[in-house]
Structure 1
């Protein structure tokens, strides 16, 4: 991408592991910030997390650290922590979910940089441990996930709260940066994974629904509050969603089932222009529409619904998605050291008409010497002395 990215000139020190904080740092890096990821010498707990490339390198780690610089220090040593504190003091902004170590707490870092912006991820608001999977279980979502009538909790594969939390951390950091630009004041921000999940459950009405009536039941692949469900086709399965009266009208016209659904309306004393009636009678409507989808291939379904407002998609697995990535404008060939060339996403935030291709993730500790020279103005001799003393890792 040519031109200046919005966060050019911002420097962020990231001490992190797992999903939320690395995702937040990568989001900032893709918008132009210089994000310096600091790891323990030898790597943190996610350096070799699955999935792995054939080479044994972590695709997970590489995927969440694109475009950053990597520094390794011995966080257990006073000299290593002093290096990190110096990087934070020079950068002015830190994003972290790392355990608090002597010399690296907010108050200690603020003593070196009064306008420090410090964004800390927590598991719970009280500082307890939590991860996406435990938070999701505690929030009730597994009780409404899965097929109707299923009796035990069903987890989902997407770490939704980690993703949301990482983006909340990014928004909070940028809000604090704006505050600092206006006032010269730094801020301490804390974002708890459990709070993000609780806020989302509340904002979407799940909690009020349970307080004021009854908790939602499992619906399988049905859409709550309107008509939407999966349909089997001659060669696969599709998801169809109706959210407006226009969507419904176009679906009925495209399938040629207007007379049948009209008769059903009269028999049920319903008005299928209304979302509530479509939802209440979803089983009957689904049975009628299933007869249109069942004999058709997915290509024929596409022909029938193209040009309408109907919301639909064919179900695909990851192998099918991966096979079609060359046609996706978000994806570019990324030659990741230790992994090799593969198609990877750039930033989904589009700035004007320009695109921002992905930058490789660093190898662990790749920029240690470079960052210490550039940010801390350390001499080669001082850097070598730190390395010989075990305070920093290899570059």
Structure 2
């Protein structure tokens, strides 16, 4: 898998999550992704969380497998280096704003068939980030406990993640077209559009247009049956019955078939239908809760073994067992040390996926400049002028 995109080079000028994730996705598939930062690093170079050394665990996590070069964006010589890199690679991924010299119009003068993808806040060019976009689109008012009046923000930067994966997909689609037609592409990807598109794709927008204001349901699964349950000993599990078989197995294992059937008769409901399981979720949960409360996690694990019930215990990040997971490998990350880190989740069955550490900031400056045909004297001259670090 690490060679699927061998020969593809991407210049990435970015920070934070969406654009770096797009670049890393391509790097993990074998592309040569050259991350270009200003001297000293971009705004995310010290972004929390931090290792004891002060190294950003976010930065290292989002830049695995890339090469790194640092350039003085304020100098003509530094901007010329970036332009030459873009022309050589032919593909640019960026979320940098306020730099006309990084625009498609400017860079395509050096490479007419350039593929240029610009991540933006909104389509009108105004600024936005994941957390402000999430607030605008409506999700905080359907997140959280039913009796909670204020909006509840999310922790997972879902729109940044979707945006980064859209960016990787868009670049590959444009590169495929260029390979057939020779045409470049200017692609704009507003973060707000990503969130709005997904809200529409998931039915939230249509539901609102049809006059329904989605309710808060806490940890219940909307439109079906699923909820968290407390166990003996203080642990909690999430249980989900997406299908009739899931629900039937849950009732059988808990010994509630007859009780649930009688409840179904009294309510005039059909628990073989998702909607009825959802409408009567609180009654069903009240029947199930005592069974869980009387059992430990080990007992629940044994009871559900081999069944169709979908369930999982709640765990903290510190409780995750990464050893032996095929996604996880051990790397020696500069500035952090030895740690377990994920490779690409795309598994082609070849057994060759393994995580690659993120570079040190500017680690590959000399090598990248050499790829452009600059010799040691040229690099020394650029460094003497402060054009590269």
Name the counterpart of 1:334.
Answer: 331
Is the CA contact (8 Å cut-off) linking 1:94 and 1:118 kept in structure 2? yes
Structure 2 match to 1:385: 381
Q: Which residue of 2 aligns with 1:54?
A: 52
Equivalent position of 2:178 in the other structure: 180
Q: In structure 2, what is the Cα distance between the partners aligned to 1:203 and 1:103?
A: 36
Output the CA distance in 1 between the equivalents of 2:46 and 2:200: 36
Q: Distance in 1 between matches of 2:292 and 2:31?
A: 49
1:59 CA drift (Å): 0.5
2:354 is equivalent to residue 357 of structure 1:
yes
Q: What SS does the corresponding residue of 1:111 show, helix, strand or coil? A: coil
Runs of 4+ in 1 over 3 A off after TM superposition: none
Superposition pairs of residues 120-131 of structure 1, within 5 angstroms = 120-131=118-129
Q: Distance in 2 between matches of 1:258 and 1:295?
A: 18
Three-state SS of the structure 1 residue aligned to 2:323 is: helix
Residue in 1 aligned with 2:296?
Answer: 297
* Secondary structure of the corresponding residue to residue 265 of structure 1: helix
Give the Cα–Cα distance (whole angstroms) in 2 for the partners of residues 254 and 156 of structure 1: 34
Match of 1:137 among 129, 135, 138: 135
Matched, 1:151 2:149: yes
State the secondary structure of the residue aligned to 1:182: helix
Structure 1 contact 242–248 (Cα < 8 Å) conserved: yes
- Normalised by the size of structure 1, how large is the TM-score? 0.97
Over residues 104-140 of structure 1, what are the superposed CA-to-partner deviations in whole Å (9 max), with x where a residue is unaligned? 2211111111110001000001111000000000011
The CA deviation at 1:355 is 3.6
Q: 1:146-197 deviations in whole A, cap 9, x for unaligned? A: 1111000000110000000000001000000100011111101111000000
What is the rounded CA distance, in whole Å, between the counterparts of 1:284 and 1:187 in structure 2?
A: 55
* Partner Cα separation in structure 2 for residue 353 and residue 112 of structure 1: 39
- Shift in alpha-carbon separation, 1:135–1:51, aligned structure 2, 3 A: same
**Deviation per CA, 1:283-321, whole angstroms, max 9, x where unpaired?**
000000111111101111111111111110000011111
The 2-side partners of 1:104 and 1:330 are apart by: 36
Provide the rounded CA distance (Å) in 2 between the counterparts of 1:272 and 1:355. 46
Q: Provide the residue aligned with 2:251 in structure 1.
A: 252
Q: Paired residue for 1:169?
A: 167
Gaps of 5+ in 1: none
Counting only pairs closer than 5 Å after superposition, residues 80-95 of structure 1 correspond to structure 2 as 80-95=78-93
How many angstroms apart in 2 are the aligned matches of 1:66 and 1:367? 14
CA distance in 1, matches of 2:385, 2:102: 20
**TM-score normalized by the length of structure 2:** 0.98
Cα distance between partner residues in 1 of 2:341 and 2:5? 22
The reply to whether residue 190 of structure 1 matches residue 188 of structure 2 is yes
- What CA deviation, in whole Å up to 9, does each residue of 1:214-234 have, x standing for no partner? 210110000000000000011
2:363 aligned partner: 366
Matched-pair contact (CA < 8 Å) for 1:88–1:94: yes
Q: What are the ranges of 5 or more consecutive residues in structure 2 without an aligned counterpart?
A: none
Q: How many residues align?
A: 388
- Give the root-mean-square deviation of aligned CA atoms: 1.0
